[in-house]
């Protein structure tokens, strides 16, 4: 038996700035795909013109969320040093698993079994998808115990994945949903997006804290590494977009959206934006509102779930001297 000293996570003392806040926010917005009536999209789906693109977009997203669950958050949680941050990453990982499963839920609702099998085969064969999965997966797997630089690189990659790579896929359901097409699937995406935006901000924040500990020379070196990785992923993303969106004529719009999100990803890790500002389709932009405008009156779930802050009623509660 080994003789290690195990330390218990102590939430009574904040050891990491904001860990509690990210934890609370993530749990506040818990959701499950089964709460959304994707079956209401079935009728529209049958006459939908670009089924192939739509399915591929979702299959691609499934792969990214799978990588993020199985490798990304797991690896980061393993090597992060702060116990509260570890807990936050583990929770994030659980949500990634919900996301990956929710695409399957949409497939099961809309597609036949053989179509689904074909799609998962396509994922294995698509060079651009495999390229980004490999690129990021390798960085995740390269984290070494005690090597902060490797951990930072993994966090950086995680932010690129969650704040940038997802968005070439998110574009399509948001674009369609805003026009009343396949609205319920879009609702699932908007819930995923709501989670991913916390993940991007949180992991980016922790990465920034880590980054500050490096020497200036190291920081410069990592910056170059970071921008190079981003450019590499960006080039691949452009090709992926052309490939998947070919029949729809939407490629230019998707690319603009990817650049917009690339800038946001860079800001999340504390780097300067690199693409000039440009106009993004307003319907897609309005789809990112985190307010959850399709509040479900009936299930009372979705974005309205909020925990009350308890405080006892006292004599002062009845005191309105200032008022009357």
Residues forming the annotated binding site for Fe cation? 65, 96, 99, 162, 196, 199
Q: How far is CA 70 from the centre of its chain?
A: 14
Q: Is 178 in the site for another protein (CB under 8 A)?
A: yes
User: Whole-angstrom Cα distance, residue 260 to residue 258?
Assistant: 5
103 annotated active-site: yes
Question: What is the DSSP-derived secondary structure letter of residue 31?
Answer: -
- Picking from 98, 201, 99, 121, the residue whose alpha carbon sits closest to that of residue 159 is 201
Check if the beta carbon of residue 119 is closer than 8 Å to that of residue 56: yes
Q: Is 306 in the site for another protein (CB under 8 A)?
A: yes
User: In the range 258-287, which residues lie near another protein by CB under 8 A?
Assistant: 281-283, 285-287
Residue 213: CB minimum distance to another protein, A: 33
User: Whole-angstrom Cα distance, residue 9 to residue 83?
Assistant: 6
Binding residue for another protein, selected from 179, 213, 235, 239, defined by CB under 8 A? 179
DSSP 100-131: HHHHHHHHHHHS-HHHHHHHHHHHHH-HHHHH
Q: Is 317 in the site for another protein (CB under 8 A)?
A: yes
Binding residue for another protein, selected from 1, 4, 5, 310, defined by CB under 8 A? 310
Q: Is 292 in the site for another protein (CB under 8 A)?
A: yes
Nearer residue to another protein within complex by CB, 68 or 303: 303
Residues in Cβ contact with 215 at an 8 Å cutoff, skipping those fewer than 6 apart = none
Residue 58: CB minimum distance to another protein, A: 21
Nearer residue to another protein within complex by CB, 60 or 287: 287
| Contact residues for another protein, defined by CB under 8 A | 177-180, 183, 281-283, 285-287, 289-295, 297-301, 303-315, 317-318, 320, 323
- Positions annotated as catalytic residues are 103
């Amino acid at each position: 038996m080994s003789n290690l000293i195990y330390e218990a996570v102590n939430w009574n003392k904040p050891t990491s700035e904001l860990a509690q806040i990210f934890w609370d926010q993530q749990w506040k917005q818990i959701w499950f795909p089964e709460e959304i009536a994707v079956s209401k999209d079935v009728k529209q789906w049958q006459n939908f013109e670009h089924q192939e693109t739509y399915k591929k977009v979702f299959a691609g997203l499934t792969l990214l969320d799978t990588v993020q669950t199985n490798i990304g958050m797991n690896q980061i949680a393993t090597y992060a040093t702060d116990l509260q941050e570890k807990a936050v990453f583990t929770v994030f990982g659980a949500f990634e698993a919900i996301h990956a499963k929710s695409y399957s839920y949409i497939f099961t609702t809309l597609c036949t079994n053989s179509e689904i099998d074909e799609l998962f085969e396509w994922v294995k064969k698509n060079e651009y998808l495999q390229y980004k999965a490999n690129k990021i997966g390798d960085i995740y797997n390269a984290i070494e115990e005690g090597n902060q630089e490797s951990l930072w690189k993994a966090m950086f990659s995680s932010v690129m994945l969650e704040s940038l790579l997802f968005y070439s896929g998110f574009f399509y359901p948001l674009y369609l949903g805003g026009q009343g097409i396949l609205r319920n699937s879009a609702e699932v995406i908007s819930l995923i997006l709501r989670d991913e935006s916390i993940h991007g901000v949180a992991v980016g924040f922790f990465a920034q804290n880590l980054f500050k500990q490096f020497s200036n020379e190291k920081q410069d070196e990592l910056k170059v590494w970071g921008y190079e990785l981003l450019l590499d992923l960006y080039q691949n993303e452009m090709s992926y977009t052309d490939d998947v969106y070919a029949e729809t004529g939407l490629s230019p719009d998707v690319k603009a959206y990817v650049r917009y999100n690339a800038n946001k990803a860079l800001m999340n890790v504390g780097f300067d934006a690199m693409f000039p500002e440009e106009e993004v389709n307003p319907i897609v932009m309005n789809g990112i509102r985190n307010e959850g405008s399709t509040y479900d009156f009936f299930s009372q779930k979705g974005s309205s779930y909020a925990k009350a802050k308890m405080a006892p009623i006292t004599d002062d509660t009845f005191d309105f001297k200032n008022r009357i």
